[in-house]
Amino acid sequence: MAWRCTGKSNDELVSNLKASGIVKNPRVEQALRAVDRRFYCPEEPYIDSPGFIGSNATISAPHMHASALEHLEPYLQPGMHGLDVGSGSGYLAACMAELVGSQGTIVGIDHIDALVEASKHNLNRDKMSYLESGRVQLAVADGRQGYPFQAPYDCIHVGAACSERPNALINQLKAPGRMFAPVGSVFAQQIIQYDKAADGKVTETPLMEVRYVPLTDAAKQLG
């Protein structure tokens, strides 16, 4: 799937994602068009492939971000509250904020101080009002533990692979709520959709095989 949706501009990239059937929801399409990847990905932002953003971190390929938004959209309705674990450049947090609107909030966390500062810079160039209003809030935190200070969340996106079932994050979901997370070893990973029902029961739905960098501590990432 990588490279298939590559465009020469943000609009062309989104149009290709739509033509490929990855983007189906009009609200997701609008959010992707409203947040230009060039502010968040310093090199070749419209190539449908992961990109390096510094601190041994990557920004996910556009088709993966689009897929995440498609699956989380029911829990990114206006006024809702979401968490982006491993928020990196701040791109997906901005897209999520587009969906929850001015009455919603998105918390983005990353364990690398430099990435959090860079993501604030990116948002200040693209969506300054989101930071000023608190619609997007960015913090340094260990993604493996989530961000309990603002839990529970209607939805959680995880941008790096959990080595096992992420119970700490599941516990921070509202009931009902949904999480989109890569889970597995470096050799075999799947995106798992975790749905927490109103009674607290959690169901797991495997969506696709993937290869993500591991959700780890800052020292290991910086090497």
Residues acting as catalytic residues:
60
Closest CA to 177 of 162, 160, 149, 157: 157
DSSP assignment, residue 47?
S
What's the token pair of residue 191? 């995106």
Cα 120 to chain centroid distance, Å, stands at 15
Sheet holding 153-158, edge to edge: 136-140, 105-110, 81-85, 153-158, 173-184, 189-196, 202-210
Rounded to an integer, what distance in angstroms lies between the CA atom of residue 96 and that of residue 90?
A: 10
- Determine the 3-state secondary structure of 83 from DSSP: strand
What's the token pair of residue 31? 């959010």
